[in-house]
Amino acid sequence: MRGGGLALFLPSAALQATTLFHPSSSAPPLLLRRFSSFASILPGNPSRVSWRRPSTTASSRFGPSARPISAMAPSYKPEDARVPPALELPPPPLSKFKIALCQLSVTADKERNIAHARKAIEEAADKGAQLVLLPEIWNSPYSNDSFPIYAEDIEAGGDASPSSSMLSEVARSRQITIIGGSIPERSGNHLYNTCCVFGTDGKLKGKHRKIHLFDIDIPGKITFMESKTLTAGESPTIIDTDVGRIGIGICYDIRFQELAMLYAARGAHLLCYPGAFNMTTGPLHWELLQRARAADNQLYVATCSPARDTGSGYVAWGHSTLVGPFGEVLATTEHEEAIIIAEIDYSVIEIRRSNLPLRKQRRGDLYQLCGSLFEIQETLVASSTLFPLYNRSPFLNPMFSVRLTSQQGDSKRHPEKRLYSFSEGAMPRELQMHFDRKATGDGIKLKNSGLHEYTGGRKILLT
């Protein structure tokens, strides 16, 4: 569980037998819950209900303890199936809007790629799109040799990042939200596969660094090792935008259902995955994974691929797609360049969740999805170091800590927008931290606290 931002299934039977963690793990003890009810269905347990015993009436068909589903639901403890508890789906800023999936051709000419992407975004905006999604690695050939050459310093911006600068400018001028596919990012001595999200004001609302690197070896088909040049990201990314709450993943991230489930539990309306599946896995898994993520979590899933170029070193599958919350394909294309315009209607999410009330039927008495991605309301920050509040909150334990690294925000609206880091912990639905502007040395003095400094953990960008 080290790494807290991702999710982990904790089957209760296993929890009764073992801690499930390496002896050196810092996983919080309170995450290792015990469930006595699970023992009642183990083979040989005298309290186990016999599902094969003869029965002549509906009321006794499933044994003496049978009850209607509505009455059984509380005993299942569905609210405990997510830790922290799943958030209610937040009211979106708008119920319907148009999304554009820009399936673009990519060449070795970076300036051409940037101009080409801009033209596609503007065309999509002209057709009424309020959200535009670009492909994975749209400004560079997809290769380990190319990543260092085409990488940009997104934080520096300007001439150091012409790709993100273009996205910012177009988002502002057309007043649209842009999920900027992904580009190679240079940060210090590291390279990342990074997706930038720009709001209608042209400001960077957040960025997602690919968490799961594409390291595969299918003999005779395809071998690729992103880890030769790229560093894995350390944070799930969920962003509130003018078109709803969006969870971001990049390509290989879509294979890990825990990430999508975590986003759904934090109230995402839509999951966006810029990706570039190949000619081996694409035909088998590309649409399958999108429909699975959408159906499992009962929300919208949008993907965007580069167009196929059979003459390039890496050949993309294409087939950019929008999938609805019932797992149905709403819009897709083939492998050529295309701009798909489709409508998203968030009211359908509630309808499908009413048709199949999975959230009310989960067995929190048997299993849990644990994660530490949660909302914090920032009120005032004045320094580069924070101290944990675990002795003041019944929701936290001594394994939870927090630190702060500098990242300036909008000086008018958000004087101190920062990058926080967290270690593992069991989090409440909401946690509010209120700080005094009383910096002391290299730290900050918090109200009613004087705890130990912590400098490790996981990163979450709060916007």
Last residue within a domain, chosen from 369, 402, 432: 369
The pairing of strands 321-323 and 8-9 is: unpaired
The pairing of strands 419-422 and 402-405 is: antiparallel
3-state secondary structure of 160: helix
How much of the chain, in percent, has pLDDT values that exceed 90?
Answer: 61
Look at residue 175 and tell me whether its pLDDT is greater than 80: yes
Structural tokens at position 96: 């319907």
- Determine contact, residues 307/277, Cβ cutoff 8 Å: no
Residues 258 and 388 in one domain: no
Residues 249 and 121 in one domain: yes
More confident residue, 4 or 324: 324
Look at residue 15 in the predicted model and tell me its pLDDT: 35
Last residue within a domain, chosen from 337, 369, 401: 369
The pairing of strands 244-248 and 270-274 is: parallel
Please indicate whether residue 210 is annotated as part of the active site: yes
Question: What is the per-residue pLDDT across 69-97, written as a single tens digit (0 to 9) for each?
Answer: 555 667 899 989 988 889 999 999 999 99
Assign 147 a pLDDT band (cuts: 50, 70, 90). Answer: very high
Catalytic residue among 98, 102, 110, 136: 136
Please indicate whether residue 123 is annotated as part of the active site: no
Residues 76 and 115 in one domain: no
Catalytic residue among 210, 304, 370, 375: 210
3-state secondary structure of 282: helix
Q: Flag whether 319 is in a domain.
A: yes
User: In this structure, what are the phi and psi dihedrals at residue 118, rounded to the nearest 5 degrees?
Assistant: -60, -45
User: In this structure, what are the phi and psi dihedrals at residue 128, rounded to the nearest 5 degrees?
Assistant: 95, 5
> What average pLDDT score do residues 207-213 get?
98
Question: What's the rounded Cα separation, in Å, for the pair 293 and 301?
Answer: 7
Of 391, 399, 394, give the one whose Cα is nearest residue 448.
Answer: 391
First to last CA, the chain: 26
3-state secondary structure of 389: coil
Q: Flag whether 433 is in a domain.
A: yes
User: In this structure, what are the phi and psi dihedrals at residue 369, rounded to the nearest 5 degrees?
Assistant: -105, 120
Residues 326 and 365 in one domain: no
Residues 152 and 191 in one domain: yes
Look at residue 117 and tell me whether its pLDDT is greater than 90: yes
Look at residue 65 in the predicted model and tell me its pLDDT: 53
Q: Flag whether 442 is in a domain.
A: yes
Look at residue 394 and tell me whether its pLDDT is greater than 50: no
Q: Flag whether 2 is in a domain.
A: no
In total, how many domains does the chain have? Answer: 3
Structural tokens at position 9: 């299934």
Which region, left, alpha or beta, applies to residue 457 given φ > 0 means left and ψ of -120 to 50 means alpha?
A: left
Question: What's the rounded Cα separation, in Å, for the pair 129 and 142?
Answer: 27
Question: What's the rounded Cα separation, in Å, for the pair 274 and 241?
Answer: 17
Q: Which of 22-36, 53-67, 313-327, 338-352 has the lowest mean pLDDT?
A: 22-36
Last residue within a domain, chosen from 304, 337, 369: 369
Residues 174 and 296 in one domain: yes
Question: What's the rounded Cα separation, in Å, for the pair 204 and 428?
Answer: 28
Q: Flag whether 439 is in a domain.
A: yes
- Determine contact, residues 166/172, Cβ cutoff 8 Å: no
Domain around 55: 8-87+358-369
> What average pLDDT score do residues 31-41 get?
34
Question: What's the rounded Cα separation, in Å, for the pair 14 and 32?
Answer: 10
More confident residue, 417 or 103: 103
Rounded to 5°, angle at Cα 206 from 255 and 353: 50
Catalytic residue among 251, 272, 304, 370: 251
Q: Flag whether 3 is in a domain.
A: no
Q: Flag whether 297 is in a domain.
A: yes
Residues 149 and 167 in one domain: yes
Look at residue 257 and tell me whether its pLDDT is greater than 60: yes
Q: What 8-state DSSP symbol labels residue 36?
A: G
Question: What is the per-residue pLDDT across 408-420, written as a single tens digit (0 to 9) for each?
Answer: 444 444 443 333 3
Look at residue 396 and tell me whether its pLDDT is greater than 50: no
Structural tokens at position 319: 């087939």
Distance of CA 13 to the CA centre of its chain: 28
Cβ within 8 Å of residue 105, ≥6 positions away: 116, 306, 307, 309, 337
Look at residue 85 in the predicted model and tell me its pLDDT: 87
Question: What's the rounded Cα separation, in Å, for the pair 77 and 84?
Answer: 14
Helices 162-174 & 110-126 angle (0-180, nearest 10): 10
Separation in Å, CA 226 to CA 192, 230, 231, 287: 10, 6, 8, 23
Residues 148 and 234 in one domain: yes
How much of the chain, in percent, has pLDDT values that exceed 70?
Answer: 64
Which region, left, alpha or beta, applies to residue 3 given φ > 0 means left and ψ of -120 to 50 means alpha?
A: left
Of 337, 443, 415, 387, give the one whose Cα is nearest residue 124.
Answer: 337
Q: What is the CATH number of the domain that holds 118?
A: 3.60.110.10
Of 373, 125, 129, give the one whose Cα is nearest residue 239.
Answer: 373
Residues 201 and 314 in one domain: yes
Look at residue 25 in the predicted model and tell me its pLDDT: 38
Look at residue 10 in the predicted model and tell me its pLDDT: 40
> What average pLDDT score do residues 296-306 get?
98
Q: Taken in order 430, 436, 439, 444, is the CA torsion positive or negative?
A: negative
Question: What's the rounded Cα separation, in Å, for the pair 269 and 301?
Answer: 9
Q: Flag whether 351 is in a domain.
A: no
More confident residue, 230 or 382: 230
Residues 191 and 73 in one domain: no
Residues 189 and 307 in one domain: yes
Please indicate whether residue 378 is annotated as part of the active site: no
Helices 257-265 & 287-297 angle (0-180, nearest 10): 30
Cβ within 8 Å of residue 343, ≥6 positions away: 96, 97, 98, 99
Residues 45 and 158 in one domain: no
Question: What's the rounded Cα separation, in Å, for the pair 334 and 331?
Answer: 11
